[in-house]
Amino acid sequence: MTPTIAVLLIVTFLVSTVGLLLLIWSIATGQFSHGKKAAETIFPPGEVGHGEDPARDIADTLDGDMPANAKAVQIRRQADQSSRSAALAWIGSAVFWLVIGSLYGLLSSTKMHMPEFLANTQWLTFGRVRPMHLNAVVYGWSSMAGIGVALFLLPRLFRTSLVGGRYAITGSVIWNIGLVMGLLAINLGLSDGEEWLEFPWQIDILFVIGGALCAVPLVLTAARRKVDHLYVTSWYLMAALVWFPFLFLIANLPFAFPGASGATVNWWFAHNVLGLWVTPIGIGIAYYMIPKILGRPIISYQLSLLGFWSLALFYSQVGIHHLVGGPVPTWLVTLSIVHSVMMSVPVITVAINHHGTMWGHFGRLKDSPTLRFVWIGALMYTVASLQGSMEALRSVNVITHFTHYTVAHAHLGMYAFLSFILFGAVYFIMPRLMDWEWPWKRMISVHFWLVAAGIFIYVVSLTVGGWKEGLALLDADMPFMDIVRMTIPYLEARTLGGALMTLGHLVFAVHFIAMLRRHGERRYQPTLFRSTRQEASP
């Protein structure tokens, strides 16, 4: 056993042990026995049965369909305004990096089937453009938007004003400086050369500092919380904000993991960023948004806690299945495959809650922007996760490994799942931070259909093309260049899908800026896809 594998196993064992002890504690203290009462924690007295509209403008209050003078509305508004500056700093930055990352992604996709496109300058080679796209969307859009949404939700979950928001604002400045320096370093050819870990370790220090500053408001606000029971969203968000610094710090230790051991750490980190950072953020947001908009608690609170703890227990070793057939011990890969299959437990529990809560209320998808984005994102989490468990099996992995199929799977998770939920959350949050309604509902509709059509074309083309590519690669008699030529139509479809998504992001960014500038007329109705008054859901 190499020192690297030993370190990873020790860290994983300690994390899993802590998770197991916390699970035992939660059972011993009755966290699983609260049931319906715990599921209603996010609803102040009198709010159950009253759906909080995706966006609503009534002069001084944003009250959903509750009376404007209700005490719960006033408390909620105070909590929202306390996080205004911090949340806007992170979400605004995220939208900027979404546009930048999308443009780099479209360029790198084009180069896959037109390698001569803008090939005369070293600044725009595929080897530099592609990692710039990855890091801009992962650490710029996904991470910053997730932190911004968390900063907005925590005061609501704790029913108290955000404390220490200036630390989060300072953290956003440092994080943005790190992103600019990191992307510039990659563009200059100064990369660590490992996927998801391209930024030089000297720059990584800025992300550690920026992320640590964001943890200060979390700790201070949690210490002053006015709720006895922590709703499951709180567990997911707090866990993500605790797990990520440890993952990032260990994976970026300089000179600690050379050679093949570096690949082990690389995929241990890369997959855990998905499962222990962005996945808890996405699931946690959905656990809050779906019940709040429908005005009904989740159907099983016990299942929600089971899903959280099983994620904590099973996910830490999932990433090594990317090294099937690689220079790592077979038993380590087998352990990863077992963990990957066991991930079906939290996935199924989350699916039952998200989709079961929606049952009988799917008509709301026709009018609610937030609900449409968030629920489709939750649905894609179910699909992507079950696909990932299947993809970890050796019989499937031998076909999909090193093909475009894996790229489709990654975008199904990072984009169709997480980004859709983040889009919905932003549509929910901004009117509450700005005291203003989204100016144009048609732009929300255009944004939705562009990104939905784009990701559908993207995933379907690369899934089909990647599977055919994998089967062809197993045919020893087929020339490699024939396989490359076979994939070109699918890569062209990928670029088409990417272009639609990029256009959708531009529409979203323009609408976001208009919202910041309070364009449009002040209105007293929510911005819905259909201008109809919604009845409260029992």
- In 3D space, the residue among 533, 499, 480, 247 whose CA is nearest the CA of residue 367 turns out to be 533
Greatest Cα-to-Cα distance within the chain, rounded to the nearest angstrom? 75
Average pLDDT estimate for 94-113: 97
Q: What percent of the chain has pLDDT over 90?
A: 59
Contacts with 507 (C-beta within 8 Å, 6 or more apart), sequence order? 443, 446, 447, 450
DSSP assignment string, 30-65: TGGG-THHHHTTTS-TT-TT----SS--BTTB--TT
What's the CA gap between 103 and 129, in Å, rounded?
10
| Helix, strand, or coil (residue 514) | helix
Q: How confident is the model at residue 534 (pLDDT cuts 50, 70, 90)?
A: very low
Average pLDDT for 410-418: 96
- CB within 8 A of 316, min separation 6: which ones? 12, 15, 16, 272, 276, 339
Residue 67 has pLDDT above 70, yes or no: no
Res. 320 pLDDT band, cuts 50 70 90:
confident
**Nearest of 499, 367, 468, 485 to residue 427 by alpha carbon:** 367
pLDDT score, position 10: 72
Distance of CA 311 to the CA centre of its chain: 15
Q: Do 423 and 375 meet the contact criterion of CB atoms below 8 Å apart?
A: no
Name the amino acid, one letter, at 91.
Answer: I
Q: Tell me: the pLDDT tens digits for 362-401?
A: 988 988 899 999 999 999 999 999 999 999 999 999 999 9
Task: Tell me the mean pLDDT in the region 149-165.
Answer: 95
- Alpha-carbon gap, residue 59 to 64, rounded angstroms: 13
Give dist(CA 339, CA 344) in Å, integer: 9
CA distances from 407 to 128, 461, 472 (A): 18, 11, 17
Whole-model pTM: value is 0.93
- In this prediction, residue 316 carries a pLDDT of 80
Torsion-angle region of 483 (φ positive above 0: left; ψ -120 to 50: alpha; else: beta)? alpha
* Helix intervals (H) in 122-231: 126-135, 143-158, 165-187, 201-223
Tell me how far apart the alpha carbons of residues 292 and 308 are, in angstroms, rounded to a whole number. Answer: 20
Most confident listed range (56-60, 208-212, 508-512)? 508-512
CA angle 226, 232, 238 (to 5 degrees): 75
Indicate whether 409 pLDDT > 80: yes
Structural element, H or E, at residue 256: none
Helices (H), 301-440: 301-314, 330-342, 344-358, 369-391, 394-400, 404-411, 420-434
Closest CA to 159 of 65, 26, 64, 41: 41
pLDDT band at 475 (very low <50, low <70, confident <90, very high): very high
Q: What is the pLDDT of residue 243?
A: 85
Q: pLDDT tens, 236-263?
A: 998 898 888 888 988 888 888 887 788 8
Contacts of 220 (CB under 8 A, 6+ apart): 163, 164
Q: How many CB atoms lie within 10 A of CB 8?
A: 23
Pick the more confident residue, 3 or 66. 3
292 pLDDT above the threshold of 80: yes
Q: What is the pLDDT of residues 193-236, one digit of tens each?
A: 888 999 999 999 999 999 989 989 999 999 999 888 889 999 99
**pLDDT higher for 534 or 205?**
205
Report pLDDT for 31: 60
Q: Kind and range of the H or E element at 75?
A: helix 71-82
Residue 451 in this model has a pLDDT that exceeds 70: yes
Pair 424, 289: CB distance under 8 Å: yes
d(CA 391, CA 321): 9
- The per-residue pLDDT for 249 is 87
Q: Give the integer Cα–Cα distance in Å for 35 and 452.
A: 36
Structure tokens at 383: 């699909």
Q: Which of 350, 342, 339, 272 is nearest to 306 (CA)?
A: 350
